[in-house]
């Protein structure tokens, strides 16, 4: 078993991060496996070295040790680009110059109401879908986002039939097999962005490639990412990568039931440390 904790260095870790990291660490150790740390710093405009250093301090203070060197996404840009080039040459991605406002307006117009929503927000209406490589004849653009063409992906995966992944529950029972089709992903999620103009990649692409690169067997993360897992499994099939087992855990919330955010410094691990809390106190706070 190999699990990972993959925070972004864009602010202090809070109790929700502690819960996720402890779960992933303890699961790996209970099975005599490995626990890895990955720094998801593709957003270079918000990532800061001081936040990355604080991540290591917090994890060490919590008593969590990791195996091997830390992987940083900022050092993996060539791997992301090589995969995008492969997808581009096969017409599996297309260039998109639509702004967020363009997408909302185009998606709203035919519905005369609230546009349909997916895990990434408004489902893309297909405005730029014809802007492909024309079978590799057109160079991959530098000044546009790249979206996964769900129609072409459906053709490429037509022999796979129903896709699926295993979902573990909190009690350690036999995993549930979650099944879905490419048609469902196309209808309910749409043509997701795989590379943003300002990043050269996206969360969806980088997390799939990095989990495969690190040999992650079990992905432990919050239930807010459950719907996005269909995107990741689809990409794994498209790229010939193994699908890990998943566990989407409950979210740690504040007294009003709102999900914790990095800007909520009052619940940062650092703040609890400075107030005299112990690692065991943190475990109790998150219900472990």
- Residue 204 belongs to domain with CATH number: 3.40.50.620
* The pLDDT value given to residue 264: 61
Q: Answer yes or no: is 218 within a domain.
A: no
* The pLDDT value given to residue 95: 97
Distance CA 190, CA 239 (A): 18
* Domain limits for position 234: 76-210+230-242
- Same domain, yes or no, for 68 and 164? no
Q: What is the pLDDT averaged over residues 116-145? A: 91
Name which residue leads in pLDDT, 8 or 161: 8
Tens-place pLDDT, residues 214-239: 999 999 999 999 999 999 999 999 99
Q: DSSP letter at 14?
A: B
- Same domain, yes or no, for 49 and 85? no
- Same domain, yes or no, for 58 and 98? no
Phi then psi for residue 273, to 5 deg, are -60, -50
Categorize the per-residue pLDDT at 273 as very low, low, confident or very high, splitting at 50, 70 and 90.
Answer: very high
Q: What is the pLDDT averaged over residues 90-107? A: 92
Are 36 and 3 contacting, i.e. CB atoms less than 8 angstroms apart? yes
Q: What is the pLDDT averaged over residues 175-199? A: 93
- Same domain, yes or no, for 24 and 160? no
Is the confidence at residue 38, as pLDDT, over 70?
A: yes
Name which residue leads in pLDDT, 160 or 215: 215
* The pLDDT value given to residue 266: 58
What percent of the chain lies above the pLDDT cut of 70? Answer: 94
How many alpha carbons fall within 13 Å on the CB side of residue 285?
23
Q: Answer yes or no: is 17 within a domain.
A: yes
Q: Answer yes or no: is 288 within a domain.
A: yes
- Predicted model pTM: 0.92
Q: What is the pLDDT averaged over residues 281-286? A: 94
* The pLDDT value given to residue 267: 79
275 token code pair: 């107030």
Q: What is the pLDDT averaged over residues 87-96? A: 96
Total domains in the chain come to 2
Distance CA 130, CA 240 (A): 25
Q: Answer yes or no: is 223 within a domain.
A: no
Is the confidence at residue 258, as pLDDT, over 80?
A: no
- Same domain, yes or no, for 58 and 82? no
* The pLDDT value given to residue 172: 61
- Same domain, yes or no, for 106 and 189? yes
Distance CA 114, CA 122 (A): 9
Geometric angle at alpha carbon 126, from 120 and 131, rounded to 5°: 115
- Same domain, yes or no, for 106 and 238? yes
* The pLDDT value given to residue 194: 97
Categorize the per-residue pLDDT at 262 as very low, low, confident or very high, splitting at 50, 70 and 90.
Answer: low
What integer best gives the mean pLDDT of the chain? 92
Is the confidence at residue 186, as pLDDT, over 80?
A: yes
* The pLDDT value given to residue 94: 97
Tens-place pLDDT, residues 40-83: 999 989 999 999 999 999 999 999 999 999 999 999 999 999 99
């Amino acid at each position: 078993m190999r699990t990972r904790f993959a925070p972004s260095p864009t602010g202090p870790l809070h109790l929700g991060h502690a819960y996720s990291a402890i779960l992933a660490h303890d699961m790996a150790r209970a099975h005599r496996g490995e626990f890895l740390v990955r720094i998801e710093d593709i957003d270079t405009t918000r990532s800061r070295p001081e936040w990355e250093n604080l991540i290591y301090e917090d994890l060490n203070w919590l008593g969590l040790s990791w195996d091997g060197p830390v992987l940083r996404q900022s050092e993996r840009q060539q791997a992301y680009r090589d995969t995008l080039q492969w997808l581009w040459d096969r017409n599996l991605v297309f260039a998109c110059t639509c702004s967020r406002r363009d997408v909302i307006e185009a998606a709203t117009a035919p519905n005369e109401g609230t546009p349909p929503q997916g895990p990434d927000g408004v489902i893309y209406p297909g405005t730029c879908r014809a802007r492909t490589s024309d079978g590799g004849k057109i160079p991959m653009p530098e000044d546009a986002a790249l979206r996964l063409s769900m129609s072409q992906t459906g053709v490429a995966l037509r022999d796979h039939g129903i896709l699926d992944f295993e979902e573990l529950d909190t009690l350690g029972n036999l995993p549930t097999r979650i099944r879905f089709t490419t048609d469902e992903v196309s209808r309910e999620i749409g043509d997701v962005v795989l590379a943003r103009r300002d990043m050269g990649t996206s969360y969806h692409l980088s997390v799939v490639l990095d989990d495969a690169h690190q040999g992650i067997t079990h992905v432990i993360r919050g239930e807010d990412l459950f719907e996005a897992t269909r995107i990741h499994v689809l990409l794994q099939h498209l790229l010939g990568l193994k699908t890990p087992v998943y566990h989407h855990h409950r979210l740690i919330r504040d007294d009003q039931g709102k999900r914790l955010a990095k800007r909520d410094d009052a619940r940062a691990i650092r703040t609890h440390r400075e107030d005299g809390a112990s690692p065991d106190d943190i475990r109790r706070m998150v219900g472990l």
